[in-house]
Structure 1
Amino acid sequence: MTDASTDTGQPLIAHLLELRNRLLKAMVAIFIVFLCLFYFSRELYTLVAKPLMDAMPEGTNMIATGVASPFLAPFKLTLYLSVFAAMPFILHQAWAFVAPGLYKHEKKLAVPLLASSVLLFYAGAAFAYFVVFPLMFQFFTAIAPEGVAVTTDISSYLDFVLALFLAFGLAFELPIAIVLLVSTGAVTVKKLSSARAYVVVGCFVVGMLLTPPDVVSQTLLAVPMWFLFEMGLLAARLVEKKADQPKVN
C-alpha cells in the first residue's frame, strides 16, 4: 500500500494478500502468547476468581457443574487473556495495513489515539478488577437469602467477569470517542460542553446499569467516566484549535 497523497492504486488481490499476511501475523502472536500462558491457566483463573473467593463466606467454594468445565473455563480465560495481551501487536498490524492509505495529518492523529485507546482499555479492566469487583461481590454475597449457599459455577463466573471487563474497558474509551467525534466534525466541543449536565446524569445511569444497586459502586464508575469526559473535552479542544489554525504551504 502507498500513501494516500501519492496512491496510484493497487490491484485488489495485492491488498487482500497483505490483509491475509497481517491477520496471520496477529494470529501467530496470539498463539505464541497462548502457549506461554497455558501452563499457568489454573493459576490465572484463581487470580481472576480471587475477588469473588475473598467475598464468599468461609467454608464455601466455587463449583463446576459441567463435566469439562474444570478444563474449558481456564482454557477460555487463557485464550481471552492471550488476545488481551497481544492487542498492542494486533493494533500495530491493523495500523500497518491502513496507515499507507492515510494522509499525514490523519496519521498524526491516529497514532496517539491508538496508543491511548489500548492504555484506556487496560485501565478500565484494571479498575473493574481492583475496585469494582471486590465491592460488587461483597454486596452479592451479603444479600444472599438465609439458607442459600453461595457456590458460583466457574463457567458462569468467567462469562460474567469477561463481560464486565469488556464493559469497563469500553467505558474508559470515552475520551477517544469524544476526540473522534470532534475531529470528524460530527459535534463541537462547545455543544458537548453545553450538554455536560446530561452527560453527568448519563454517567450515573451507566453506573447504575453496570454495577450493583448501591451508591458506592455506582459512584465508583460514574465519577471516573465524568472525569474521562472532561479529559476528552480537553483533548478535543486541542484538536479543534489545531484544525482551525491556518495551514502554511
Structure 2
Amino acid sequence: MSRGGSGGRQRVKTGRGRTASSTRWLERQLNDPYVRRAKAEGYRSRAAYKLIELDERFGLLRGVTRVIDLGIAPGGWAQVVRRQAPKAAVVGIDLLPVDPIDGVVILQMDFMDEAAPERLATELGGLADLILSDMAANTVGHPQTDHLRTMALVEAGCAFAAEMLRPGGAYVAKVLAGGADNDLVAELKRLFATVKHAKPPASRKDSSEWYVIAQGFKGAPAATNPPA
C-alpha cells in the first residue's frame, strides 16, 4: 500500500492475487471519510450515517419507543437507533448472521418467509413507531430485474408496515434509482400523510440507491390488532 495524490489520499498497489476491481474497492474504502468516521465512532458500517442524516432531515427517531429494522445486517442502523433512542425496543431481521447488539432482538430468517411478520410482531410486543428497511435483493446484473426484485421487498415492507405501525408512525425503505414506482407511491400516499424521496449525503454518488420516507401513518383496521 502506498500513499500518494493530493490531500494524503491513499493509493493501493495491485498485489498478487488481487484483482483490479478489488484494488479499486479497497482504495475507495481507505479514502472514504464515512468509513473512517464509522470506525472511529464504533459503528459497524458507513451505512449508519445514512440513517443519521435521514433522521436529521425528517426527525425519524424523535420519541420512538418501538422500532423494527428489516435487513438489519451488519447492524449499523440498529446501533444508531440504540444511541438516539436508548429506551426504545428494537427488533431486527436478516438472512445473514448478525453479531449481538445490546438491547436489540435479532432474528436470522428471511423476511419473505410467511412466518416472519408474526415472529417480528411477537418479539416487538406492540405496534411500531418506525419501520426501517435497508433491504435490497441480491443483484443479477440486469438493471430492470434488480429493480423489480428490490421493489418487491419494498412492497412487502409496506404491507407489513400497514399491519404493524401505530397511527402517526413512519416507514423508511431503500429503493433504487427512479424511486418507488407510481403504484407503490399511490399506495403509500393512501396510507401516510407525507411521502418523500431522499438520497442522504452518505449514500455514494455513484450508487443507485435512494430512500422513500413515508410519515404520518393514517392507521388501518388491521393495524389495531397486530399478530399475536
With the length of structure 1 as denominator, give the TM-score of the two structures: 0.24
Asked which structure has the greater RCO (Cα within 8 Å, sep 6+), the reply is: 1
